[in-house]
Amino acid sequence: MMSERDGYELFRLKRSYREGKNICQLLRKNGKNTEHAIEVSYDLQSGAYIAALEHNPERARQKAAYTADVAGVINSLCKPASVLEAGIGEATTLQGVIKHMDARVKMYGFDISWSRVAYAREWLRKKKVRHNVVLCTGSLLHIPCADNSVDVVYTSHSIEPNGGNEEPIIRELYRVTRKYLILLEPGYELAAADARKRMKLHGYCRGLKKICESLGYRVVIHRLFQSPPADPLNPTAITVIKKDAKQRSGNVLACPRLKTPLEEIGGALYSPKALTVYPILLGIPCLRVENGIIASAYPRIRTIRADKRKQGRRTSW
Ligand SMILES: C[S@@+](CC[C@H](N)C(=O)[O-])C[C@H]1O[C@@H](n2cnc3c(N)ncnc32)[C@H](O)[C@@H]1O
């Protein structure tokens, strides 16, 4: 829960962001970016990725080439029925990937920042994306999806600022994956000395392949993604992990705490196992553990209120 002081702090940080300061750097503790620092810094820069694509043709061209390559990898691995981008930002990558996907593929995306998800939704609308895309907030450390629920899960520089949390994040991504997990993240081990120095300084992730192998996961591809890299100081590496999980039925979105099914009741998502309600804010399900309200009486009270309304009686609260 955010305190009054935190609220003031955010207001102050917004001013610092406008002055061009690096917010993650201001909030970094012992060389590590906390989830709070990541959420605040990315939320404050909401809209910046879209603006860069709209105002910089070279950036737009690079993005189009990158996303075509990402889709090429996905389509060469399998014919997915569902694809999730974890840490979707403003959907500037997802939107390019979708262009190359079969129209029947169901797409999912989540991000720690609500504002970025809201921008992502606007960007997909503006680009007239016709695919079925489900967006919500969520954390890489507590992914709001059921086990083995998505055929292909990919990340694009979202594990990047989470240096020190690589292992729990990879476990979560793997848990949700049914067929392939694709990590497009800074390739620390494959990078030149100056790039490594910068990655360390910013608290970026490292050692993803080694961690996957130590967990017993089957790494089938690991190499630099683009040659030459679009950003030599932050070259992208691709790591593909194969998983053979059984086909499952049921919804993809799940309670982030228990990974159990959610029910839509009264314009919110209720977890009967966790006795917790997750709000839907302006149409965006808020599925971070912190977003949950413990409300064991919610379905009962909701029924009483609905019954009263049917009878034309008003509730007093
Ligand atoms: C560098 S941006 C990349 C965005 C997008 N994947 C793309 O390719 O344009 C990193 C994104 O990951 C999100 N992110 C970072 N850490 C996260 C976490 N622990 N849980 C959920 N999202 C996270 C950030 O909020 C941000 O939107």
Coil, strand or helix at 163: coil
**Of the candidates 112, 156, 154, 158, the residue with the CA atom closest to the CA atom of residue 135:** 112
**Pocket test residue of 112, 170, 202 for ligand 1, highest count of atoms within 8 A of CB:** 112
Evaluate whether 283 touches 125 at the Cβ level (below 8 Å). no
In this structure, the answer to whether residues 212 and 172 fall within a common structural domain is yes
Asked whether residue 202 is assigned to any structural domain, the reply reads: yes
Domain that includes residue 148, residue range? 55-242
CA-CA distance, 60 to 148, in Å (whole number)? 34
Coil, strand or helix at 7: helix
In this structure, the answer to whether residues 15 and 131 fall within a common structural domain is no
**Of the candidates 162, 37, 146, the residue with the CA atom closest to the CA atom of residue 84:** 146
Coil, strand or helix at 99: coil
| Non-local CB neighbours of 104 within 8 Å, separated by 6+ positions | 81
CATH number assigned to the domain comprising residue 215: 3.40.50.150
Q: Is 290 in the pocket of ligand 1 (CB under 6 A)?
A: no
Query: Which residue minimizes the CA distance to atom 19 of ligand 1?
Result: 140
Q: Is 162 in the pocket of ligand 1 (CB under 6 A)?
A: yes
pTM for this model (two decimals): 0.93
Each residue of 30-86: pLDDT tens digit? 778 899 989 999 999 999 999 999 999 999 999 999 999 999 999 999 999 999 999
Asked whether residue 255 is assigned to any structural domain, the reply reads: no
Compute the Cα dihedral for 24, 28, 31, 33 and give only its sign: negative
Specify the number of domains making up the chain: 3
Each residue of 139-178: pLDDT tens digit? 999 999 999 999 999 999 999 999 999 999 999 999 999 9
